[in-house]
Chains A and B, each alone.
Chain A
Amino acid sequence: MKAQRTIKSIYFLLSIMFLVFTETVWAIPRLAVQNGVSCVTCHVNPTGSGLRNEYGSSIVSMDELSWKPLSKQPKFTGALSDHLRIGTDLRMQTYVHSDEEAQWERVSFPMQLEIYGHWLITPGIQAYAAMDALGGNSEGWISKEFSSFSGYLRAGRMIPHFGWALDDHSTFVRGGNIKLKNGLNAEGMLFSPMRSTVSTLEGGLNAGDFFITASVSDGFVSGNTGSKTFTGRVEYSGMLRGNTVLAGGSAIQEDDFLLVGIFGGAAMGPFTWMGEVDLANDWVGDGTSLASFSELSYSLVQGVTLTAQYDFFDEDIGYLRNALSRISAGIEFFPFPYVEIRSQVRVTKVASENESKNPELLFQLHLWY
């Protein structure tokens, strides 16, 4: 009995170390839609993104994503022991664009270098830390599962769970353009990688085909710890005539700020569609902002996916001329396990201008474990 109390005290003290870190969400929800599963199928995080679990690492990453699975597979899949797992995500981005004098510029930079640690303290209780080695946000939490009603309680520093946790933070439903380049006051919603993780208490529940989360956080929108952010999300995933469908809604409220959205996805054969529409009050001034995202992808063969995407952002729907629309087309190539090569071309148009901006080219190398 005394030993158990001592062990619990040690666990409590050790779990504090996960609190010293303060993440951006990088996930591919399309995989969840394609397979009709929730993100926790492959990730240790119940809301997706970050470190993969044993299934996500040794089956999906190694065999089911890549164009050429390895004939001789590594024995190490990230698990140091039955209780400890580590992993990483590295993204290198090259961005090619032209300036106003039609001079083309190329910029390459590391976009993400995250190192993950996961500790299964006992079955049902886990601790997780994600450290951004590039000096950005980090994440850390501890969670307890309640198998009797398929739920969990989680506490720590994280981003509230809202909408699709897309890996492309530049979509307007996430953070949009970090650097404002089209003359608007905002060029995306609030999920910028520059926004800090916040202290959050979150509960989640799997009820049949529904996955419900609710959380309370310290000032995610304003950065003011005196404010409380309330977030709720409901997601339904099921089958319709043999095809997976997914739909849901989410909301964030903090003081006078309110963000609501609906999202959905469907997969039929090699085609997958995902979409989201969000409305925000008091995001830009006291007007109502609207952001939307729609992506259609086609799986050419295992490991090669073609994507077409439309993004829209209107910082204030009360005015006609302050809106952005963007069309993107790209290819995602997983040549080998744990390797992704992504390229995309996109064209942005501002509502107040007659011509579209010059196209932008993006190339990304993504390595993970």
Chain B
Amino acid sequence: MKFSLLSIFVVLLFSGAVQAQDLKNVQVLPFKNAREIVPYMKEMAKDLGVKCNYCHNMKDKSLDEIKHKIITRDMMKMVKGINENFMTPLKMDAITCWTCHRGSTSPPYNINEKP
């Protein structure tokens, strides 16, 4: 018991250090912790038809070493801009990744194809 209390004291002694952030390197999304961001990530993964390791280093998901994550971040900025500047002012439903991707990493139609 004494050892337990001493150990707890040692841990709390170090707890005065600068507190770690719960989420690191989140630049676009407004979420603060895993409980908020995971449901969003689940939906996005389904919209793109991928698993988490398509964009993330699973040992440290905050890293930007996989190019898909960089591209996705730019895509998020695009979606956010469209919703803020057009969809919301026009009182229309917000777009999501699904709007174009339909469960695939590439949209199922070529935007340059003429009808």
Contact = CB atoms under 8 A, between A and B. Distances in A.
Interface string B6-34: 01101110110101111010000000111
A53 interface: yes
Contact of A156 (B7, B14, B45): B7
A363 B8 CA distance: 40
B4 A53 contact: no
Nearest to A140: B4
B39 interface: yes
20 contacts: A15-B12, A41-B59, A54-B34, A55-B38, A55-B52, A59-B38, A59-B42, A64-B51, A122-B19, A123-B20, A123-B21, A125-B19, A144-B15, A146-B14, A153-B10, A155-B7, A156-B4, A156-B8, A199-B1, A225-B3
Nearest to A12: B12
Contact of B53 (A16, A35, A125, A200): A35
B8 A53 contact: no
B37 to A, nearest CB: 8
A58 B11 contact: no
Q: Chain A interface secondary structure, helix, strand, loop or mixed?
A: mixed
Contacts of A11: 12
A192 interface: no
A201 interface: yes
B4 A143 contact: no
Contact of B12 (A8, A35, A38, A218): A8
Contacts of B36: 82
B9 to A, nearest CB: 8
B71 interface: no
B34 A155 contact: no
Given A35-B53, A155-B11, 4 more contacts: A36-B58, A144-B14, A144-B17, A155-B4
B17 A19 contact: no
B90 interface: no
B25 to A, nearest CB: 12
Q: Which 5 pairs show the lowest CB-CB distances between chains A and B? A: A155-B7, A124-B20, A147-B20, A123-B22, A201-B7
A53 B23 CA distance: 14
B5 interface: yes
A155 B10 contact: yes
B91 interface: no
A41 B7 contact: no
A124 B19 contact: yes
B15 A218 contact: no
A157 interface: yes
A146 B17 contact: yes
Given A36-B58, A122-B19, A15 B38 contact: no
Interface string A183-222: 0000000000000000111000010010000000010000
A79 B37 CA distance: 13
